[in-house]
Chain A
Amino acid sequence: MDSNPPRRSLLGLAAATGALAALPACTATAAPRRPAASAVPAGDTRHTLWWRAPADGTSMIEQGLPVGNGRLGALAGNDPGRELLLITDATMWTGGLNDTLDADGQFPYGRDDFGSFTLLARLTVELSGHDLSAVSDYRRTLDLARGVVSCSYTRSGVTYRRQIFASRPDDVIVLHFSQSGGGRHTGTVVLEGTHGEGEGVSFGAAFPGGLRYGAAVTAHGSGGRVRVDGTRIAFTDCRDLTVVVSGGTNYKPDAATRYRDPSLDPAHLARTKVRAAAGHLAATLLRTHVADHLDLFEQFDLTLGASTDGQRSLDTWERIRARARDGAPDPELEAAYLQFGRYLTLAGSRGSLPLGLQGLWLDGNDPDWMGDYHTDINLQMNYWLADRAGLPQCFDALTDYCLAQLPSWADLTRRLFDDPRNRYRNSTGKNAGWTVAISTNPHGGNGWWWHPAGNAWLCATLWEHYEYRPSRAYLERIYPLLKGACEFWEARLLTTTPPGETREVLIADSDWSPEHGPLDAKGITYAQELVWALFGQYGTAAAELRRDTGYAETIAGLRERLYLPRVSPKTGRLQEWMSPDDLGETTHRHLSPLVGLFPGDRIRPDGSTPRDVLDGATALLAARGMNSFGWANAWRGACWARLKDAGKAYQLLGNNLRPSTGGTNGTAFNLFDIYEVERGRGIFQIDANLGTPTAMIEMLVQSRPGHVELLPALPGAWADRGSVRGAGVRGGFVLDLSWRHGRPVEATVRSVGGRATTVSYAGTTRGIRLAPGGSVTLRDLAP
């Protein structure tokens, strides 16, 4: 067989992007839906995080508060005298296609070649006389439901208020400064680039890789004077002040145009956007934004029980510290932490590129690991939450990304994967389909080492979205990804007979189980599990779409012959490699060999899984330990929830809620999860902020097509009373559930495409059938 994929297949991959929905990068948007003039609903204290201190300009990643419209984001510092916004655009990436290999057959991984996610701009609003030392009653809030950061304080009897939000309908960030009591605002607005552009009311520039970018700001006030003063905006004696900023790049999610829109002038577009938005009252912009944000936010709700008055009297950071110090559960804080994960998803993943290692938020241009897309857990984990927590629309960014990258990924695989220097090339001599490296960028490029199983890992995540929201159109979109991944593995699998066995099996070629142990191990559990899942998903997809019947049979045949991991007779643990020996770090952060336990379904404690495999998986999970990095704890928590160990799952939540001090693993002041890269240096990684809430939901409801399990791992701290509304369940349903004293009171299942499933609690199972859109409410669930 030719080592290149058949031409027909390549054409098929390319054609897939034709069906891709237009992705607005920084493109002109349709006229916003403006709700009728009415008061913006007051914020619910359950969804309002608050603090008593602003951020330090040098600690923004731990203390800045995030806003975002899914594409355009910012961290806000909220110092009374000096508002600071670190502004990002999801597509603001250096680098390019990066389609060469280093001497070892792997990809370069630098900020110029592979590229890095970077800041778009920095906005400063100086307010003279508003030094923090001179104001009183300072308070700062993040309203998760409305998507508004605000702060207030008093100075000489005047109360000053500030609201900051990133509007998706208007595609701008708005800062509104107001007061009551006869106060005035005087100061300057400074917009500056972070790549040497200097300051200016608008600017435009381009990276060496060709990506153009730009930003613009405008301001208007009442009762005073606002004028452009050289490169800044000066305002004097304004009763209130509105500052509008926008910006973006000419990124286009289309391999055919090399991911650029040459006709787009980002600086010009940014000026147009801020001018258009500034034509509306700040109150109108706010109302428009809140309506848009609230619609999605309210698709889900959650209560986990009541906190004490003492806990409620504390600000968010004090509460985090008190929870760790006193060891007492704080159910409202824990629910708010979950909602914060939803907020980050909503603010960071709509209509543009997906959430990378840091989501949409940065405090500099040198994020660790480039703030990139890590395909060996982190990118996948970022999208575990969206469907479970009632934000299926936010998942689209990942699908759109994979589809836009596919032609390039396929091309790079075809041209470079069989490079003789690549230690992971197929020893079969064949090469087909597509895969990725451990890191990917938005330019169609790979970075760092080849990651053969990355394709199956991505497909598993895309497939889960299909299970949550079954849709033929969606299936048609992802089908080329599934099929291309199958073709890759069809070319890659090797035949072998394991020692002591007689049956020939198929195993993955040399690979590295992320990110420890031998670099060249065949048949690693990670790959075997993911390929087994992929082949199953493909079979279902082909049958559903009635396509490629013959090829589907081929894949089904390969699946039957796939080797599945054994339990080590030496350690009693599920083997990570085809060896009874533990060849890596026992407490390593990754749970790669447990991908069949979570998020997969192959290993289940319901009698369907051979006892030794279940015990081996449990032993492996236990050996990995309870104290790791945030995302690793989140994965552990989800796994323990699947094993119905509520105590361990809840303990891992607590471990991630520990306050981060001096860069330690844990939760920062602004609730960002901090990953201790080296002693004393912590960085933000968003995966734990999304994975931990995922594990929390897995404690309340678990699902797979045809099966919904209620309260599988409800911890004592939440048992007294609670509810969840709008949780996605696989099979195509949405669940509302309430419980008391640890037992379900009422469960309403609504179909969003699913037709039949079973609902189970503590061994009692009820079957339900629904037409799409229909719902049923179940009571008397407890035996």
Chain B
Amino acid sequence: MRSSSYSALPARALRVLAVLALAAGAVTALPGPAGAGTDRSATAGTAAARPATAGTAPAAPLAAKPYMGWSSWSMQSSKYPGLNPDGGYSWLTEANVLKQADALAARLKRYGYEYVNIDAGWWRDKAWKPGFDRHGRQQADPVRFPRGMKAVADHVHARGLKAGIYLPVGLEKEAYGDGKVPILDAEGCTTADIVYGDLRTTNGWDSAYKLDFSDPCAQKYVDSQARMFADWGYDFLKLDGVGPGSGKSGDRYDNVADVAAWNKAIAATGRPIHLELSWSLDIGRVADWRKHSQGWRIDTDVECYCNTLVSWENSVDDRWDDAPGWTRHAGPGGWNDLDSLDVGNGGMDGLTKAERQSYATLWAIAKSPLYTGDDLTRLDAYGLSLLTNREVIAVNQGAAPPARPVTPSDPQQVWASRNPDGSRTVALFNLADRPAAVTAHWALLGLTGKAAVRDLWNHENLGTHTDRITQALPAHGSRLFTVTPRGAALTTTGHEAESAANTLSGNASPADCSACSGGRKVGNLYLGGKLTFHKVVVDRPGTYQVKVAYVSGDPRAVEVSANGGGATSHRFPSTGDWGTAETVSVPVTLRAGANTITFDSGSGYAPDIDRIDVPTSS
């Protein structure tokens, strides 16, 4: 776990004056994500019911699709030569941001990129000392942004783009001003009223005092900040350090009330402002994040804080493990944010071409917001081709749900999602450090026979393939296909894990599971616990893609074997919690007639098994 350097900043209080304001909240509901089954009845704060800002067309609902744009943090946080000559994070200036906005407008806007998001530091000088106005609200650093933040937003808008800004959650310690700073438009409210008496700190860096919303003054403080952004014309806010998450848990770091307050405050401004939460949000509170925001960072920073913007191992590659548990929570109105997509310049990014393509592939199919942190004035040809591939962007922006792994989290993986037209989006990944072949069996997609394959990255039809497609992938490489079925649906024979015909050993035992087929599963598969299915009958010998329905609140490995033969260990991706069943398929070599299939926890902890579905042909 890493966090941005924000935590290292000096804390200093400022005296400000307070004015009281009234908040007006317009609340409306949005449809939930397709098939996600999440309760959206109380969804609030989205743009659908907000009045359009004067001079712009009526706004589309916020986050109907993952947003696209650019963010400043990757370049601010990097030690890449020349980026931050005046010390850490010094890159962030009006001149630099506007250059990026111009480049975005010129090169990427036509592909759907629209947000220009300013990250941490706009109210801090180059020594990282913050500035606040008389009401304890962050104010632009005059050196970085000599014309103030509104001028920046105006410039961005003039290019037909949207402007984004940033805040940490809570009352920054330096804004406290001995508790005497008056809150704007809130008569009688000072900073002392909006925090807890014991000045308990909050957020991922403990850089702020936790707001106490039992006092209405706290909401008014948030309202005053939201009003400020609306007045400046911002369209997007990244609220950072939010817990539970951001490396923190427990009451002090529970910022759900802050997020709700922000949602309410934004609604009250009447301006559609996209609210994005950061970082490593607690999946256990995803209903709250969905209810009050339009996106949430599922992971720590993608940046490496090194001589490049990012690096593969730290922490681009973590996303393959961390995204699956979140998949079903993404949908119109709120998306799983995998962080910046820094694939535009190989040298600056610190990635191979293959890694850059895989990075962009995962972001696209997981339907993460697509915002790059690259220097848009220095995109290389390959980077531009990655960021502007319309077929890939269409996967991200289209109507299909995000893809999930259909294989275990082994070094070679296949992810897939079903498109509205019945075709499948299929991604092959080789996460190993050396080239390897990766096969997508149509059985993984519930298909048999022939299927047409379109290579999206290379804009090429690869013809019709029978039963599977195999491609050689470079180290950390990927392919992205549209697979259009031309054959029959796969037929399978199901076997429930809890069936009395199976053998359990060790601690393994059946348990109730409302999400599971038959309402039961087999759990307690740990430290030698074992589940063996008997009488798995197939007509012909061969390797079968056996679909396993399972429940696992975290990624867990299990050893799968047939007929007492050699076992293969597979790591199953997290299902996000212990009440959700998902499926992956594992290859199992069976002989004609009756077979046994064993799931052995070995020396570790294995997922709970719900059922298996064995194809009737290999």
Point out residues on A near B: beta carbons under 8 Å.
51-56, 58-59, 63, 79, 131-138, 153, 156-157, 308, 310, 315, 322, 324-327
Contacts and interface: CB of A to CB of B under 8 A. Distances in A.
Interface in B440-485: 455, 457-458, 460, 462, 470-475, 477-479
Given A56-B433, A79-B435, 15 more contacts: A52-B437, A53-B434, A53-B473, A56-B435, A132-B435, A133-B353, A133-B479, A136-B462, A138-B437, A138-B471, A138-B472, A156-B458, A156-B460, A325-B566, A325-B568
Nearest to B430: A53
Nearest to B435: A53
B589 A133 contact: no
B96 interface: no
Contacts of A132: 354, 435, 472-474, 477
Interface in B525-570: 541-543, 565-568
Interface in B391-428: none
B95 to A, nearest CB: 36
Given A308-B541, A326-B565, A133 B474 contact: yes
B225 interface: no
B22 to A, nearest CB: 57
Contacts of B455: 136
A310 B541 contact: yes
B429 to A, nearest CB: 11
Q: Which of B436, B477, B479, B565 is most buried by chain A, counting CB atoms within 10 A of its CB?
A: B436
Contacts of B72: none
A133 B475 CA distance: 10
B278 interface: no
B434 A56 contact: yes
Contact of B357 (A133, A138, A156, A327): A133
B541 A134 contact: no
B434 A133 contact: no
Interface of B: 353-354, 357, 433-437, 455, 457-458, 460, 462, 470-475, 477-479, 541-543, 565-568, 589
B613 to A, nearest CB: 21
Contacts of A131: 353-354, 474
Contact of B543 (A63, A138, A310, A324): A310
A58 B471 CA distance: 21
Contacts of A156: 458, 460
B354 A53 contact: no
B542 to A, nearest CB: 6
Contacts of A153: 472
A326 B566 contact: yes
B427 to A, nearest CB: 12
A55 B432 CA distance: 12
A79 B477 CA distance: 13
A136 B478 CA distance: 12
Nearest to A140: B472
A310 B474 CA distance: 26
A153 B472 CA distance: 10
A57 B487 CA distance: 40
A315 B435 CA distance: 14
Nearest to A154: B462
B435 A54 contact: yes
A132 B353 CA distance: 10
Contacts of A325: 565-568, 589
A310 B592 CA distance: 13
A134 B479 CA distance: 8
Contacts of B457: 133-134
B565 A133 contact: no
Contacts of B354: 131-133
Given A324-B566, A326-B565, A133 B437 contact: no
A53 B437 contact: yes
A327 B565 CA distance: 7
7 contacts: A52-B470, A53-B436, A54-B435, A132-B473, A133-B478, A138-B471, A325-B566
A156 B455 CA distance: 10
A756 B568 CA distance: 54
B364 to A, nearest CB: 15
A53 B455 CA distance: 18
A59 B568 CA distance: 24
A133 B197 CA distance: 59
Q: Which of A131, A153, A156, A308 is most buried by chain B, counting CB atoms within 10 A of its CB?
A: A131
Nearest to B433: A56
A133 B476 CA distance: 10
A133 B460 CA distance: 12
Contacts of A52: 437, 470, 472
Contacts of A59: 433-434
A62 B567 CA distance: 24
Nearest to A321: B568
A134 B474 CA distance: 10
Contacts of A54: 435, 472
Given A133-B354, A310-B543, A56 B475 contact: yes
Nearest to B469: A136
Q: Which of A79, A134, A156 is most buried by chain B, counting CB atoms within 10 A of its CB?
A: A134
Contacts of B477: 132-133
Contacts of B470: 52
Contacts of B568: 325
Contacts of B479: 133
A63 B565 CA distance: 28
Nearest to A138: B472
Q: Which 5 A-B pairs have the closest CB atoms?
A: A52-B437, A56-B434, A138-B472, A325-B566, A53-B435
Contacts of B472: 52-54, 132, 135, 138, 153
B469 to A, nearest CB: 9
A5 B163 CA distance: 94
Nearest to B479: A133
Contacts of A308: 541
Nearest to A315: B437
B471 A310 contact: no
Contacts of B353: 131, 133
Nearest to A310: B542
Contacts of B434: 53, 55-56, 58-59, 63
Q: Which of A52, A53, A138, A156 is most buried by chain B, counting CB atoms within 10 A of its CB?
A: A53
B542 A133 contact: no
Contacts of A55: 434-435
A324 B567 CA distance: 10
A446 B356 CA distance: 51
A652 B213 CA distance: 72
Contact of B473 (A133, A315, A322, A326): A133
Contacts of A326: 565-566, 589
Contacts of A63: 434-435
Contacts of B566: 324-327
